[in-house]
Amino acid sequence: MGIWQALLLGAVQGVTEFWPISSSAHVALLIIIFGWGEPDLSFVVALHIGTWIAVVWYYRHRLAGIIAAWWGEVRGKERGDPQAKLAWMLLLATLPGLVIGFIFAASSEMTQGMPLLMIFNLAFFGLLLWAADAWGKQERTWQDVGWRDSIAIGMAQAIAVFAGVSRSGAAITTARAAGIKREDSADFAFLLSVPIIAAAGGYAILELVLEGMSGDLFWNMLVGGIAAALTGYFAIQFLLRHLGRGGYRPYAIYRLCFAALLLILYFTL
């Protein structure tokens, strides 16, 4: 893997991790077009770290407030803080992802070699996103999120272990179907990605420790991680700033067009 390849993969990973358009499908497209093999595990870890840094840095002040409120409630100093409630809902939503992700980790790796399934997921969940955003009410905020909503969003996000679904897309779709406002849906999905990406990155690091890291990949890991962090940060910023212009419909349309492109490539290459 060269530096430019690492830069491109990192940039694509950063954007597609947070936009509801499936990072796995875009990585697959790059592999198809350029004939690249699967990235080394150590490089994947670097991309996880980069995207985690992006979301933590973007929400750094918000996260500090949420953690402080949650810790205050745990210690019994303060009760009923909305930020503490949000922390509990995020933790609750994380559990299905950890459980389902652990159970289906091997199965999800198998589906990477099933491009038609990935293409189907890309299109089908794009239609679900479009429908949920079009018909979902704009009445509720993150403060209205209850334990049922959290579990539903967490379970939906957990399905993203399968290629073509999109972690943020599944969470946003479920939140919009529950009548949570567009920006609040994205906020909840992005905040939820903090523990989820940390868990996924931790699991990958454990695998890396067990398998060993290739020392000659340092610069590729550094470049890819930085690219993922920078593009991830601006991807979050862009999505939240432009939700008023068509909501999530442009992303759903993009998914359908992208699925069609992959289908054409599948039958022609």
Identify which of 51-60, 133-142, 206-215 has the greatest average pLDDT: 51-60
Give the span between the Cα atoms of 198 and 58, in whole angstroms. 15
Residue 180 three-state SS: strand
Check pLDDT > 70 for residue 105.
no
Q: Report pLDDT for 102.
A: 67
Using one digit for the tens of pLDDT, what is the confidence trace for 147-201?
899 999 999 988 888 889 999 999 999 999 999 999 999 999 999 999 988 887 7
Give the span between the Cα atoms of 10 and 17, in whole angstroms. 10
Q: Report pLDDT for 258.
A: 95
Residue 140 three-state SS: strand
Pick from 95, 76, 90, 171: nearest CA to 133? 171
Check pLDDT > 90 for residue 24.
no
Identify which of 20-29, 77-86, 121-130 has the greatest average pLDDT: 121-130
Using one digit for the tens of pLDDT, what is the confidence trace for 26-64?
987 887 788 777 777 788 888 989 999 999 999 999 999
Dihedral pair phi/psi, residue 232, rounded to 5°? -65, -45
What residues contact 101, with CB distance under 8 A and at least 6 apart?
A: 158, 161, 199, 200
SS3 assignment for 95-132: HHHHHHHHHHHHHHHHHCCCHHHHHHHHHHHHHHHHHH
Q: Report pLDDT for 216.
A: 62
The contacts found for 134-141 with CB under 8 angstroms, 24 or more apart, are: 134/247, 134/249, 135/177, 136/176, 136/177, 136/178, 136/179, 136/180, 137/179, 138/179, 138/181, 138/182, 139/179, 139/181, 140/178, 140/179, 140/180, 140/181, 140/184, 141/180, 141/181, 141/184
265 in Cβ contact with 32 (< 8 Å): yes
| pLDDT band with cut points at 50, 70 and 90 for residue 208 | confident
Check pLDDT > 70 for residue 214.
no
Check pLDDT > 60 for residue 237.
yes
Using one digit for the tens of pLDDT, what is the confidence trace for 106-117?
555 545 557 889
Lookup result for tokens 């759903």 = 252
201 in Cβ contact with 45 (< 8 Å): yes
CA 118 to chain CA centroid, Å, is 16
Q: What percent of the chain has pLDDT over 70?
A: 92
